């Protein structure tokens, strides 16, 4: 029943977005449709992989980042100790922050199209990592106002982001590179990525040698490292293609406005963490993969044909959800997505 309702909701959203895609009414309809179906998919779930740990944090009143403490203690606890009450509050805040950024950099029907493609790839993370994704979209808004040179605004957004999730501080080094050309940014990001990759392995083997004195931990660390490396290579490999695709499209464009160039640079900069992401998948999940939104927006602004953007997204979806079934016998991401979709209660 839910899948039938969801299909009807999606078809209605497409039709309304197609009919009203110009002017203020069109923008309102597009944003409303995106908000509604994203909230149904992401906000009304009654199961996530992290729901039990979050419930424990609420029950034991475990403190985390400042903004989380404000929401959990100052808002949620006043009404209910159920995690999914907080999940709905976070979902609303995430979607508002997401749509605010998207409307600054993309107009018209593209808001709906980009949202559909982005959720197709990021649904699992978007729904589960509620603290991080609120911080992530606040950080993107901060970058937009940094481009606009509105100091107070970008400092506020950066501050809100970091107080939501401290890991978004990893994006701040990007600020030192925007003054360089796109060509140099790609070169520097690649150099940093390779250097971090080598340093990680040097430290890994050094730690392995140190721990060899304690019951053979060097063997354990080596096996763990190998497993992480192979998994990281598998999941991160398509994203090398994305930066190459954007680079080629960038050079083929005769005229590029300043905002588009800024977004292209922003996406290229995330690859300075690729070397670490190959070995520590959580870096890929937090930085490389979520930045697919910036890739989509940059492609639209570079006038990449829509069928190419759709094909790239479908290819990524197959790689993430289907290929692991043939290689490993199961797809963890796909299994979790099915569980979350089946848990939705309207």
- Tell which wins on pLDDT, 219 or 234: 234
Cα 114 to the center of its chain, rounded Å: 13
For residue 214, what pLDDT is reported?
41
Cα 338 from Cα 336, distance rounded (Å): 5
% of the chain exceeding 90 in pLDDT: 50
326-334: average pLDDT = 88
Is the pLDDT confidence value at 217 over 50?
no
Task: Name residue, tokens 């991401």.
Answer: 333
CA distance 94 to 137: 7
pLDDT given at position 72: 79
Cα first-last separation, the chain: 11
Distance of CA 292 to the CA centre of its chain: 7
Look up residue 177 and give its DSSP letter.
Answer: T
Which pair of structure tokens corresponds to residue 104?
């600054």
Note the helical H segments in the chain: 2-19, 23-38, 51-60, 66-69, 77-79, 83-105, 110-128, 130-147, 151-164, 182-211, 217-252, 258-269, 274-279, 281-283, 292-301, 306-317, 323-328, 332-342
pLDDT at 17 (0 to 100): 53
Structure tokens at 28: 């309102």
* Per-residue model confidence (pLDDT) at position 77: 67
Read off the pTM.
0.88
Q: Residue 9: its pLDDT value, please?
A: 52
State residue 154's pLDDT score. Answer: 96
Asked if residue 278 lies in contact with residue 201, where contact means CB atoms within 8 angstroms, the answer is no
pLDDT at residue 216 in the model? 40
DSSP H helices in 148-181? 151-164
pLDDT of residue 18: 55
Which residues, 6 or more positions from 332, have their beta carbon under 8 angstroms from its beta carbon? Answer: 324
Residue 22 confidence (pLDDT) above 60 = no
pLDDT digits (tens, 9 = 90+) for 36-63: 989 999 999 999 998 888 888 887 777 7
Q: What is the pLDDT of residue 79?
A: 73
Report pLDDT digits (tens) over 260-302. Answer: 999 999 999 999 999 888 888 888 899 999 999 999 999 999 8
Q: Which of 7-16, 107-116, 182-191, 223-232 tops mean pLDDT?
A: 182-191
How high is the pLDDT of residue 191? 94
Q: 86 near 76, Cβ under 8 Å?
A: yes
CA–CA distance, 236 with 193 (Å, rounded to integer): 13
Between 226 and 141, name the one with better pLDDT: 141
Report whether pLDDT(151) > 70. yes
Give the pLDDT of residue 29: 80
Whether 275 contacts 196, CB under 8 Å: yes
pLDDT at 14: 56
Length of the chain: 346
Q: What is the pLDDT of residue 225?
A: 42
Least confidently predicted of 21-25, 256-260, 331-335: 21-25
Mean pLDDT of the chain: 84
User: How do residues 164-181 score in pLDDT, each as one tens digit?
Assistant: 999 999 999 999 999 999
- Find out whether 264 and 250 touch, Cβ atoms under 8 Å: yes
The C-alpha atoms of residue 261 and residue 250 are separated, in whole angstroms, by 8
Q: Average pLDDT for residues 236-257, to the nearest whole number? A: 84
User: Which pair of tokens denotes residue 130?
Assistant: 């509620």
Q: How far is CA 31 from the centre of its chain?
A: 19
Give residue 28's pLDDT: 81
pLDDT at residue 215 in the model: 42
Residue with tokens 């005769």: 254
Query: Comparing 141 with 197, which gets the higher pLDDT?
Result: 141
Report how far residue 110's alpha carbon sits from residue 197's, in angstroms, rounded to the nearest whole number: 37
């Amino acid at each position: 029943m839910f899948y039938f309702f969801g299909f009807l909701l999606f078809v209605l959203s497409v039709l309304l977005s197609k009919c009203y895609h110009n002017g203020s009414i069109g923008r309102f309809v597009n944003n409303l449709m995106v908000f509604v179906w994203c909230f149904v998919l992401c906000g009304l779930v009654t199961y996530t992989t992290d729901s039990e740990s979050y419930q424990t944090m609420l029950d034991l009143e475990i403190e985390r980042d400042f903004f989380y403490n404000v929401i959990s203690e100052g808002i949620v606890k006043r009404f209910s100790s159920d995690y999914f009450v907080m999940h709905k509050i976070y979902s609303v805040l995430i979607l508002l922050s997401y749509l605010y950024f998207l409307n600054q950099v993309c107009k018209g029907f593209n808001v709906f199209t980009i949202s559909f493609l982005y959720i197709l790839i990021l649904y699992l993370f978007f729904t589960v990592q509620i603290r991080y994704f609120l911080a992530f979209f606040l950080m993107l808004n901060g970058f937009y106002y940094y481009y606009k040179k509105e100091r107070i605004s970008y400092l506020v957004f950066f501050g809100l982001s970091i107080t939501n999730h401290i890991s978004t501080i990893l994006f701040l080094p990007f600020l030192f590179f925007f003054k360089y050309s796109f060509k140099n940014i790609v070169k520097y990001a690649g150099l940093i990525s390779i250097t971090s990759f080598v340093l990680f392995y040097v430290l890994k083997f050094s730690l392995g040698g140190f721990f060899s004195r304690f019951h053979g931990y060097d063997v354990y660390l080596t096996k763990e490292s190998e497993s992480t490396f192979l998994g990281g290579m598998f999941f991160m490999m398509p994203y090398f293609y994305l930066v190459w695709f954007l680079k080629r499209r960038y050079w083929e464009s005769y005229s590029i406005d300043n905002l588009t160039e800024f977004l292209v640079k922003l996406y290229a900069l995330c690859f300075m963490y690729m070397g670490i992401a190959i070995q520590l998948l959580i870096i890929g999940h937090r930085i490389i993969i979520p930045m697919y939104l910036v890739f989509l927006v940059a492609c639209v602004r570079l006038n990449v044909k829509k069928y190419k953007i759709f094909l790239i997204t479908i290819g990524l979806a197959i790689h993430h959800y289907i290929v692991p079934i043939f290689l490993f016998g199961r797809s963890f991401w796909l299994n979790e997505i099915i569980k979350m979709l089946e848990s939705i209660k309207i």
